[in-house]
Amino acid sequence: MIKEVRVRFAPSPTGALHIGGVRTALYNYLFAKKSNGKFLLRIEDTDQTRYVPGAEEYILEALAWLGISPDEGQGIGGPDAPYRQSERKPMYKAYAQQLIDAGFAYYAFDTPEELDAMRERLNKAGVPNPQYNAITRATMKNSLVLPQEEVKQRLDAGDAYVIRIKIPRKEEVRVNDIIRGWVLVHSSSLDDKVLMKSDGMPTYHLANVVDDHLMRITHVIRGEEWLPSAPLHVLLYKYLGWEDTMPEFAHLPLLLKPDGNGKLSKRDADMHGFPVFPLQWQPAGAEKTIGFREEGYLPEALLNFLAFLGWNPGTQQEIFSLTELVEAFTLEKIGKAGAKFDINKANWYNQHYLRGMENSALGAILKTDLEKKGINTSLESAQEIASLLKERITFAKEMVAEGEYFFKSPKEYDAVLSQKWSAEASEVSLAFADKLISIATETSAEEIKHILHEIVENQKLKIGKVLQPIRILITGKPAGPDLMQIIKIIGTNEASERLKKGVEFANRV
């Protein structure tokens, strides 16, 4: 029987979910769906000192906004509940005990001062990065060194202790990574990591491995920053007797700064003004952090952009719906090299998906945005305007500013006007203005175009010579959507007035 694919996204609720985490969630989702498997959400909150209220809700909301909600997990439920590690605390203890009993872990009673003293001693002796390991443990206060009786006494007396893994002194640890191939690490470079803290909470390492096992996770897909922990995890699977069902690993490439120099950070985002979080985040009393959603990015655009940060389909195709991504996605096509975070690409995707939006949806957005500015229009006219503007914007919220001339006569004219202004332009504009009031208000754009062309031809001119100045008189701007459509929407009387006022201005300067 083929095993059901089960993957998990396992964020720690320490604040807003970074965009790299969203990409991890997306790749897990894509892989699960592609394999007809399950996508789980587990909240890794064993480090209570880093717990931030609201972070868990934020994670769920972000995944829901993007349409990549988990099948099982925190906030959803499922057969392996609870999915919040702090609520699974009693489960981990038994496994730590199993490791101690089998000789793969031990109690350590060292106080923080004793640990500091050890590091200081070794630093003085020229050891650059002193660790609690196969060599130094012999000099410390732990159950491998202290007489059995003393260990028992200390435990009975309730002395504070941690449980550490006993890393072998000389052993090669091999991790098979789907993206990187075999990664070999010598155990002498690993330290005796704490598995259980003195408060009885497991550390990330123990909880992560135990839960992946209990939740029958088949593939661990996570960020590259966890690769150094993978050898320790492999040893834990082995020591717990779970080697046969150990998940496969896939460590995703880092997200890099726009220039490719170093890891993408919140500081880059602040510096360049682009978001690195899916949703806006503002914990009580703290500064606001901007999010893709509030900045006006469409979920489809963000998904498409993120999918390509580290993965590509191996073809020229760049536009993928979520369903198409599921179809095309394979872990094998994920690259090893870091992916540059190029916000221009995200904008490009947004422009694309915005153009694909229904005019009715964009019209509704425009209508609401206008109302906020005290301008009322019919939904019908908002839709018509949106249909003309959507080719010219990256975000829906830009429609109001981009199309200001639909609602207001221009207050100033683009500088191109004076360069292109001529006696002919003045004459044509006035003649056009006169004609426009004489015709019915409900005229078609075709009819308006015809009128203008007739005037131009009568004067033996070329339309190219006068069209741009006329556009500037009416809209203030040197470029925009079809001018005849604009005139139709603002109305022939309004257009006529703007022309007259504009000609007066242009002839004065």
The binding site for ligand GLU (CB under 6 A) comprises 10-12, 44, 204, 208, 222, 226
Of the pair 183, 416, the CB lying nearest ligand GLU is at: 183
Judge contact between 310 and 324, C-beta under 8 A: no
Of the pair 226, 237, the CB lying nearest ligand GLU is at: 226
The number of residues making up the chain comes to 509
Of the pair 209, 396, the CB lying nearest ligand GLU is at: 209
Of the pair 44, 300, the CB lying nearest ligand GLU is at: 44
Does the annotation mark 266 as catalytic?
yes
Alpha-carbon distance of 58 to 291, in angstroms, equals 11
- Classified as helix, coil or strand, 58 is helix
Of the pair 59, 417, the CB lying nearest ligand GLU is at: 59
* Residue matched to tokens 């491998």: 144
Q: Bin 36: left if φ > 0, else alpha if -120 < ψ < 50, else beta.
A: left
DSSP string, 226-262: GGGGHHHHHHHHHHTT-GGGPPEEEEEPPEEPTTSSS
The least CB distance from residue 71 to ligand GLU, in Å, is: 17
The least CB distance from residue 106 to ligand GLU, in Å, is: 24
Q: Which of 212, 245, 202 is nearest to 42 (CA)?
A: 212
Q: What is the DSSP code (8-state) at residue 107?
A: E
Judge contact between 239 and 104, C-beta under 8 A: yes
The catalytic position among 89, 93, 263, 266 is 266
The least CB distance from residue 233 to ligand GLU, in Å, is: 8
Q: Which of 501, 499, 492, 503 is nearest to 438 (CA)?
A: 492
Angle at 489 between CA 486 and CA 494, to 5 degrees: 90
The least CB distance from residue 28 to ligand GLU, in Å, is: 9
The least CB distance from residue 65 to ligand GLU, in Å, is: 20
State how far the alpha carbon of 462 is from the alpha carbons of 428, 455, 465, 480, in Å.
11, 10, 6, 20
Alpha-carbon distance of 128 to 369, in angstroms, equals 60
Of the pair 279, 499, the CB lying nearest ligand GLU is at: 279
The least CB distance from residue 222 to ligand GLU, in Å, is: 3
State how far the alpha carbon of 435 is from the alpha carbons of 438, 448, 470, 505, in Å.
5, 9, 14, 20
Q: Which of 108, 112, 111 is nearest to 138 (CA)?
A: 108
Show which residues are catalytic: 266
